[in-house]
Structure 1
Amino acid sequence: MLRSMYAGISGMKGFQTKLDVIGNNIANVNTAGFKKGRVTFQDMMSQMSSGAQGPTATRGGVNAAQIGLGAQTGSIDNIHTQGFRQTTNNPLDFALEGDGMFVVASDIVRNDPQGDVFNPSNPVEIDSINLDESNVSYTRAGNFYLDTNGNIVNSEGLYLMGFAGGDTNNITALNIPEDAQSFSVQSNGTVNYIDAQGNTQVAGQVALANFSNPAGLQKAGSSLFLNTENAGFTGLAEPETDGVASIVSGSLEMSNVDLASAFTEMITAQRGFQANTRIITTSDEILQELVNLKR
């Protein structure tokens, strides 16, 4: 069979993958904290017709003759550029300006010798959480809410992690007491509230996770990411320190998908797919001519 037919098939498969990624980008064009994907291609191994020859005393050198065997998917990248900021005026909507990600967790385990399970309904137990043993995820989606116990949670009910008492070693699930009259979040992540006596109190400070290679994070759905060995997790830090982002309360970071670019990429992928189908039909016509030689 003709090599061009199999090269066309490989091209069609590659552009199908690209259209899948573009379709997912467009579907999430209005998803808070979404990071778009990108597909890159590589050529496949080439078949050697004749090898390269070096020059001799009587003849010059000759280059190798190779026939390509098609294309393959090189990588599917997550592009972690900054999304545009949408003002909501909701005090529990947080946008990040810069690098870093919010830390959310469930099945929380305390960092005490007994390893007791964290009880979020009892504010006394909000101290020293072991993130290594808890179910931890990371996100840029800053739409948070208050549950019935005053804990700050995301739309999936995962607790927002922070620091208690200004101690970066004391990781806690941020909680606002039920008798608080109002609360606010500063750009450095400090959560303040007004107690029943009208005094200003500090509930904690939002913790941000920093990664040297955020493209290495694994998407887990629900706008969540999981840490991997290639993400380069550098630890938790206070906002506006160690090169991590500042927090803008009352705003949301939306998707970083650019519709104009997405539609342009979709058109080029469609044309590339069509061109590869033509390769297959042309190869089929050649095979038909070969079969007709018998007549």
Structure 2
Amino acid sequence: MLRSLYSGISGMKNFQTKLDVVANNVANVNTHGFKKSRITFKDMVSQTIQSSGGPTNNSGSINSKQVGLGASLASIDKIMTPGSAQNTGEPYDLYITGDGFFRIEKQGEILFTRTGNFKPDEAGDLVTPDGYYVLGMNGQKINVPKDNVTSVSIGPDGTVSVVENNVSRTVGQVSLAAFSNAGGLDLVGDNLYRQTLSSGAPSNAIVPGEQGTGIIQTARLEMSNVDLTDEFTEMIIAQRGFQSNAKTITTSDEILQELVNLKR
């Protein structure tokens, strides 16, 4: 009887975690560049009541008799499929058409993002909305001069060009990074990722469109890859799973109460 109680508890904890993951996906349905997560479970060790046996002269083989002891969390995976593009009309909004991450410097640390809503700061350096620098091919900041500049354009290969005093010149080039296991990156907030032992080290700075990365499109942003239809379905599954496991605990408690009443 106690086995069923603990199995029910493990199930309730797992479905609570599943609901947490689903809720976070739904909360970020409109977060640019957000990648949804999924959760998987695995069974826990089983208690063997009787071991299996091979055939004998008088009988055939028998299977073992085991009672499971519940479930546990197997993984929380990031689904790195690209989101759809949203037209914004902003010249500094950048969208990666395939694989790759923008390289961002935050307080001396290089981080990575799929969200390309950049702007020049007061000094002309290209930054994220939180003021973190966008890195170019040489690992330096990309500076867009303001004086005497009549137009700015960013090419598919990330080249940033300006027309200054009626003369066109290149002022930098947006670089990308790629990972052998992008799903192993850690989220650190602000739409940024940090490399881990699981993700592997990033490649050197890559020109957009090379080494399997996507080219850059301007005036577009990547939307979240969250599908509300899928998430609401998973929410129902999590709710029903939680309720079912709670019911097994209630039923086990009722049977235990009957056993206690037998002594009266």
Q: With structure 2 as the length reference, what TM-score do the two structures score?
A: 0.97
- The superposition leaves residues 230-270 of structure 1 with CA deviations (integer Å, 9 ceiling, x where unpaired) of 11323321001111111110000011100000000000110
Is 1:254–2:223 an aligned residue pair? yes
**Aligned partner of 1:280 among 246, 249, 255:** 249
**Equivalence map 1:146-161=2 (5 Å):** 146-161=120-135
**Equivalence map 1:121-270=2 (5 Å):** 134-163=108-137, 170-179=138-147, 180-195=149-164, 197-232=165-200, 233-270=202-239
Matched residue SS, 1:220? strand
| Alpha-carbon distance between aligned partners in 2 of 1:21 and 1:269, rounded to the nearest angstrom | 10
- The superposition leaves residues 65-101 of structure 1 with CA deviations (integer Å, 9 ceiling, x where unpaired) of 1000001110111111111110001001101110000
Matched residue SS, 1:267? helix
| Alpha-carbon distance between aligned partners in 1 of 2:156 and 2:178, rounded to the nearest angstrom | 17
| Alpha-carbon distance between aligned partners in 1 of 2:145 and 2:163, rounded to the nearest angstrom | 10
Matched residue SS, 2:123? coil
**Equivalence map 1:36-51=2 (5 Å):** 36-51=36-51
Which residue of 1 is the match for residue 261 of structure 2?
292
Letter in 1 for 2:41: F
| Alpha-carbon distance between aligned partners in 1 of 2:210 and 2:159, rounded to the nearest angstrom | 13
Matched residue SS, 2:134? strand
| Alpha-carbon distance between aligned partners in 1 of 2:230 and 2:187, rounded to the nearest angstrom | 22
Q: CA deviation at 1:138?
A: 0.3
Is 1:87–2:56 an aligned residue pair? no
> Which structure 1 segments of 5+ residues have no match?
108-133, 164-169
| Alpha-carbon distance between aligned partners in 2 of 1:264 and 1:76, rounded to the nearest angstrom | 18
| Alpha-carbon distance between aligned partners in 2 of 1:230 and 1:281, rounded to the nearest angstrom | 41
Q: CA deviation at 1:171?
A: 2.4
Q: CA deviation at 1:289?
A: 0.6
| Alpha-carbon distance between aligned partners in 1 of 2:124 and 2:18, rounded to the nearest angstrom | 44
Which residue of 1 is the match for residue 70 of structure 2?
70
- The superposition leaves residues 211-244 of structure 1 with CA deviations (integer Å, 9 ceiling, x where unpaired) of 1100000000110000111113233210011111
Matched residue SS, 2:245? helix
The alignment of Structure 1 onto Structure 2 pairs a total of residues equal to 262
Letter in 1 for 2:262: L
Q: CA RMSD in A?
A: 0.9
| Alpha-carbon distance between aligned partners in 1 of 2:203 and 2:122, rounded to the nearest angstrom | 33
| Alpha-carbon distance between aligned partners in 1 of 2:217 and 2:135, rounded to the nearest angstrom | 17
Q: CA deviation at 1:178?
A: 1.9
| Alpha-carbon distance between aligned partners in 1 of 2:104 and 2:2, rounded to the nearest angstrom | 54
Letter in 2 for 1:226: R
Matched residue SS, 2:244? helix
